A and B are shown apart, each in its own frame.
Chain A
Amino acid sequence: MKIVNKIQKFLFSYITFCYFCTDIFVIIMSLSCLNTYKIRYNSMHNNLSHFSLKPFISAVFLLFAFSFNVKAQDGAKIFKQNCAVCHALTDQKLTGPGLLGVAGRVPKPEAEWLTKWIKNNNKVIASGDAYAKTLVANNGGTDAMSEFEFLTDDELKALVAYVIAPPVDVTPLTTTTVGNAGEVVEEAKGAIDPLYLLLGSIVLLAIIVGALRSVRHSLANSFNKTEGKPEVPEMTFGQEIKHWMSGHRRLVGVFGIIILFVGMKSCWNACYNLGVYYDYTTQKGYKPEQPIKFSHKIHAGDNEIACQYCHNTVEKSRHAGIPSVNVCMNCHKGIQKGPQYGETEIQKIYDASGFNPKTGTYDKPENPLKWIKVHTLPDHVYFNHSQHVVVGKQECATCHGDLKKMTVAEQKTPLTMKWCIECHRKTEVSMEGNAYYDKIHKALKEKYKGQFGVKFTVESIGGLECAKCHY
């Protein structure tokens, strides 16, 4: 009996101890979690408001709707080959001014003046034409337009006719509608966090238990009074729990063990996810909302832009690099509407770079973009991109997943040390075709013959040495 009692006592104290430990663990967890949140959200931008962009209705172009003819078709071809690099048919300023309503601006007769101007604009300026002078002055005193002496009179006629009245269906930009954007799946918001549910139910239960306790006590006492038994003195909550527990040792023991194991298992699981931005069970990684709804799918997937175009330091540096806004502007100076969010998201690049799409110049204040880093290695790990990409010839997708299919960038691999080592163990080193390594490779193969099997992996050239990454 004594031994059983002792075991029970031990179990009880052990359970309490475990509770205590779990509590401390949870507190530390939540504290570090809070800390993390603070860092994360400090660096986050204001909440992104995205409103649906209504399709742009270009009523102005109705004016030109009826001026469709064969000549304009030829003109369209000539325009695209020679002029479209610098001029848009809208009011958008590219290198040259937008040509919307150009007929109304130039001196009369407009067709004649335009023909002269296109053929050799320098001659028109030299002739002292007043309008030509204002054009040059508006362009900051320079005239960057090329001369088009090689165009025949017929070609010029067709081109001028096209510029004055372009048919609606070949007008670039304005006809690409924003309405047919892909489905925008809004994540369901307003779902209650289970943590709050848990806390709420605990508080509710505590209130109920507290209320029932006094009710039960007074009921028991009144019952005792009628029976003629002595009144039971009121116990404190702690005393009562202790009293109840000693009366239900088996129940407490079973529940205690269950709780203990569940707690241990969840602690164990939590340890696995500690500092890992990737959930093994759900196979989901860190996927934060970025300041711009940038889609790797559209850029790298649909448009086949190489990863290195934007992450251009990947072959030269430790970091792959986040592109500066001028890299975005290399294309988005011209492409001002996206297929999914229209102008709203691209406008954010302009806000960051100080670009004014109306005038085509950088005349606004700059605001740095604060992208959120997705793939983070702890500070005590050294990782070098150029080493892996140039020397190791690794594909981006090996570690980052197929970003060409991702709308929002997500961490697709755990990036843990185990994961690193697994890859170093199985990846074979290829030194063939590199004269620099010919001798070394041969010597190493000879030296470690049979030691690493047939494979000659990263491990066999010291890829598992602690100091390779931790120093």
Chain B
Amino acid sequence: MNISYKNLKLITCGTFAVILVAGFTSCGKKDLNSPGFEFMPDMYRSPSVENYGTYIIGDDTLNSAMLPVKGTICRGFIPYAYPNTVEGYEQAGLYLKNPIALTPQVELDGEALYGKFCVHCHGAAGLGDGKVGAKLPGPPPAYNGALKDLPEGKIFHSITYGKNSMGNHASILNTQERWTLVHYVQKLQGPKTVVADSTAKAVLTATVVEKIPSPVH
């Protein structure tokens, strides 16, 4: 009787060995595309709509990352009056003034913001020598060079809508942050050449302003 069961004994031992080895190897390896075990997924994933979620409700798919409903604005938001056109740019340069007074704290804030949002293209000193700027088809012009006499309104307008290679930064910087940045950019511009500024103004008032419609609110 015992002899005839030896096979079974061996087989059982073999099975155990295989199970153990396979069990250990499968534990050691981890699929990096899988987050692992979630014991109660409904405690991880909220039934309420969270940021960046995709929710399948019946036959509808709802992405929570969406643009606001057309025609709505968020509380306290003041729409920007000047349109994204050449005329709007010139007009902003003439009439738009910085509502934030320059204080040492504003300058520090501006420097911090500049270090996060501008420096990779425009460079630490605003010479257009940032690491990303070098990879652009054309590097951004230097603040103390071609942009030396750019009025604050035009700087704000450019940050808001973007200019040339630069994209619009209104989605990542609010109005206050943009004006704070304008102060710091003006610091990088250095002192203005006064004469050129006034003549440019005179030319612009004569040519451009007459054909501009009133600012859109």
Asked whether B138 lies within 8 Å of A198 as measured between CB atoms, the reply is no
Asked whether A82 lies within 8 Å of B146 as measured between CB atoms, the reply is yes
Asked whether B136 lies within 8 Å of A92 as measured between CB atoms, the reply is no
Asked whether A36 lies within 8 Å of B35 as measured between CB atoms, the reply is yes
Q: Mark A87-107, 1 if CB is under 8 A from B, else 0.
A: 110001011000000000000
CA distance A330 to B121 in the complex (A): 10
CA distance A269 to B65 in the complex (A): 37
Q: Which of B4, B138, B167 contacts A329 (CB 8 A)?
A: B167
Interface hit among A4-12, A67-75, A375-383 = A375-383
For residue B64, give the distance in angstroms from its CB to the closest CB of chain A.
11
Asked whether A306 lies within 8 Å of B30 as measured between CB atoms, the reply is no
For residue A348, give the distance in angstroms from its CB to the closest CB of chain B.
17
Asked whether B51 lies within 8 Å of A319 as measured between CB atoms, the reply is yes
Q: Which of B30, B51, B136, B171 contacts A284 (CB 8 A)?
A: B30
CA distance A44 to B171 in the complex (A): 26
Asked whether A94 lies within 8 Å of B164 as measured between CB atoms, the reply is yes
Interface residue total, chain B, C-beta cutoff 8 A = 72
Cβ-based interface call for A226 (8 A)? no
Asked whether A376 lies within 8 Å of B35 as measured between CB atoms, the reply is yes
Asked whether A39 lies within 8 Å of B167 as measured between CB atoms, the reply is no
Closest residue on chain B to residue A223 by CB atoms: B4
Q: Which of B35, B36, B63, B131 contacts A304 (CB 8 A)?
A: B131
Asked whether B44 lies within 8 Å of A378 as measured between CB atoms, the reply is yes
Asked whether B141 lies within 8 Å of A289 as measured between CB atoms, the reply is no
CA distance A424 to B105 in the complex (A): 31
For residue A298, give the distance in angstroms from its CB to the closest CB of chain B.
11
Cβ-based interface call for B37 (8 A)? yes
Cβ-based interface call for A456 (8 A)? no
Chain A neighbourhood of B33, CB < 8 A: 40, 287-289
Cβ-based interface call for B29 (8 A)? yes
For residue A458, give the distance in angstroms from its CB to the closest CB of chain B.
24
Asked whether A273 lies within 8 Å of B44 as measured between CB atoms, the reply is no
Chain B neighbourhood of A201, CB < 8 A: 15, 18, 22
Closest residue on chain B to residue A198 by CB atoms: B22
Asked whether A368 lies within 8 Å of B4 as measured between CB atoms, the reply is no
Q: Known A198-B18, A216-B7, A276-B36; judge A88-B52 contact (CB<8 A).
A: no
Closest residue on chain B to residue A322 by CB atoms: B52
Interface hit among B68-76, B94-102, B112-120, B181-189 = B112-120
Asked whether A287 lies within 8 Å of B32 as measured between CB atoms, the reply is yes
Asked whether B141 lies within 8 Å of A306 as measured between CB atoms, the reply is no
Cβ-based interface call for A277 (8 A)? yes
Closest residue on chain A to residue B168 by CB atoms: A326
Asked whether B44 lies within 8 Å of A275 as measured between CB atoms, the reply is yes
CA distance A302 to B131 in the complex (A): 8
Cβ-based interface call for A54 (8 A)? no
- CB contacts under 8 Å to B, within A197-250, are 197-198, 201-202, 205, 208-209, 212, 216, 219-220, 244, 247-248
Closest residue on chain A to residue B29 by CB atoms: A194
Q: Known A198-B23, A288-B32, A322-B52; judge A81-B146 contact (CB<8 A).
A: yes
Interface hit among A56-64, A109-117, A331-339, A434-442 = A331-339
Cβ-based interface call for B172 (8 A)? yes
Q: Known A40-B34, A85-B141, A306-B116; judge A370-B43 contact (CB<8 A).
A: no
Chain B neighbourhood of A331, CB < 8 A: 121, 132, 136, 167
Q: Mark A373-412, 1 if CB is under 8 A from B, else 0.
A: 1001011100000000000000000000000000000100
For residue B112, give the distance in angstroms from its CB to the closest CB of chain A.
10
For residue A241, give the distance in angstroms from its CB to the closest CB of chain B.
9
Most buried by A among B65, B131, B140, B146: B65
CA distance A255 to B29 in the complex (A): 26
Cβ-based interface call for B194 (8 A)? no
Cβ-based interface call for A461 (8 A)? no
Cβ-based interface call for A266 (8 A)? yes
Q: Which of B37, B140, B166 contacts A274 (CB 8 A)?
A: B37
Additional 18 contacts, C-beta under 8 A, given A287-B33, A309-B172: A33-B37, A33-B38, A35-B38, A88-B137, A194-B22, A198-B22, A208-B11, A262-B23, A274-B36, A281-B28, A286-B32, A286-B35, A302-B131, A303-B132, A309-B117, A326-B171, A331-B136, A379-B46
Listed by A's residue number, 25 A-B pairs whose Cβ atoms lie within 8 Å are: A32-B41, A35-B38, A36-B38, A85-B164, A142-B86, A173-B137, A194-B29, A201-B22, A202-B19, A220-B4, A255-B16, A262-B23, A273-B37, A274-B36, A275-B38, A279-B36, A286-B35, A288-B33, A302-B131, A306-B120, A319-B51, A319-B52, A327-B172, A330-B166, A334-B138
Residues of chain A touching chain B, judged by Cβ–Cβ distance below 8 Å, are: 28-29, 32-33, 35-37, 39-40, 42-43, 80-88, 92, 94-95, 142-144, 172-173, 193-195, 197-198, 201-202, 205, 208-209, 212, 216, 219-220, 244, 247-248, 251, 255, 258-259, 262, 266, 269-270, 273-277, 279, 281-282, 284, 286-289, 302-306, 308-309, 312, 319, 322, 324, 326-327, 329-331, 333-335, 368, 370-371, 373, 376, 378-380, 410
